[in-house]
Amino acid sequence: MGNSKLRNPVESGRICNLCGGTSFRLLHAWEPEHLRNSAAITVGFWECACKLAFLDPLPQLVQLPSNGDWWTTERKEVRRNVSFKKVRERLQNLVFGTPEARLIQQTRQLVPTGRLLDIGCGTGKLLEQARPYFQCHGLEPSEYAATEVRSRGFRVIQATLEDAPLESDDKYTVVTMDSVLEHLTDPVGTLVKINRLIPLGGVVVIKVPKLWGPTHQSLGREWNGFRVGYHTIMFSGQTLANVLRATGFEPTRRPRRDRPFDDILIMWGRKVAELPADPEALAKTIARRRAA
Ligand SMILES: [Zn+2]
């Protein structure tokens, strides 16, 4: 097994997406044979000195089942205590509402109504909850998922955020990303794009698995939050707040889900600053906001 030894990402010229630094330590590694590794290569999660964690090397699409389509049934998925988890989930949903319903109700504490864009809308669970209160649009690269959501009457653009034909004068008062940001390689660039889609005072909502939550701490690399091969960036409350601040948002104190016992992190960021269009001025602004 020639590739079982991982090389520090510095050697391939990688720099931290958040701080631009190059001081990385290995958190976990998974060989291709590992039960949770969907990729055909050894991959690792690395942590920058600024605490942002990222996958390296990044598997190419051909090294993932069905060319990386998240909706494939061929990716490795190991579940623990399925029946216990299912029962607990059902009870929680009964008492508190589904996670999607709660996310929308909490978001409405900040923005009660308006236009909402759900990036990576999947099969439309969140859009369904938002529909009574917001004019809803979805963005979804998977043809399977996009077709499914359209059939229920939603307007869905089948594209990634990179390729989407979104007009920046067509503002959204709320932009949601439920379980999406951890799949992308450029969270700062993504939040810059989202900033331009939101008016001042509008809100971005981000839900991601939480690095250093209790299950990660107890299971280490066996934690299924890594979705090995698919999740490319992982956040703690601190690093996600830093990404938000760097890109012109202020994380709200309430609502916010970042308690010590949470394995899932949800953060609401209110847009407090416009970002310059000129790339050089933009880089300076991000660096200044990051340091503040
Ligand atoms: Zn960093």
Establish if 54 belongs to a structural domain: yes
Element (H, E) at 143: helix 143-150
Based on the domain organization, do 193 and 277 belong to the same domain?
A: yes
Q: How far is the CA of 197 from the centre of ligand 1 (A)?
A: 26
- Residues having C-beta closer than 5 Å to ion ligand 1: 16, 18-19, 21, 48, 50, 52
CATH assignment of the domain containing 186? 3.40.50.150
Based on the domain organization, do 62 and 103 belong to the same domain?
A: no
Sign of CA dihedral 35, 38, 40, 43: negative
Of the three residues 52, 68, 84, the one that is the final residue of a domain is 68
Of the three residues 51, 68, 85, the one that is the final residue of a domain is 68
Spell out the per-residue pLDDT of the chain, length 292, in tens. Answer: 444 579 999 999 999 999 999 999 999 999 999 999 999 999 999 999 999 999 999 999 899 988 877 777 777 777 666 677 788 888 888 888 999 999 999 999 999 999 999 999 999 999 999 999 999 999 999 898 999 999 999 999 999 998 888 877 779 999 999 999 999 999 999 999 999 999 999 999 999 999 999 999 999 999 999 999 999 999 999 999 999 999 999 999 999 999 999 999 999 999 999 999 999 999 999 999 998 8
Based on the domain organization, do 157 and 259 belong to the same domain?
A: yes
Based on the domain organization, do 14 and 115 belong to the same domain?
A: no
Q: How far is the CA of 12 from the centre of ligand 1 (A)?
A: 16
Q: How far is the CA of 288 from the centre of ligand 1 (A)?
A: 15
Question: What are the φ and ψ backbone dihedral angles of 283, each rounded to 5 degrees?
Answer: -60, -40
Pairing of strands 203-209, 264-271: antiparallel
Helix axes 279-291, 237-246, angle to 10 degrees: 140
Q: How far is the CA of 52 from the centre of ligand 1 (A)?
A: 6
Is the distance from CB of 175 to CB of 197 less than 8 angstroms?
A: yes
List the domain range (segments joined by +) for residue 32: 9-68
Q: How far is the CA of 166 from the centre of ligand 1 (A)?
A: 30
Is the distance from CB of 190 to CB of 247 less than 8 angstroms?
A: no
User: Token pair for residue 126?
Assistant: 């969140």
Q: How far is the CA of 23 from the centre of ligand 1 (A)?
A: 8
Based on the domain organization, do 209 and 249 belong to the same domain?
A: yes
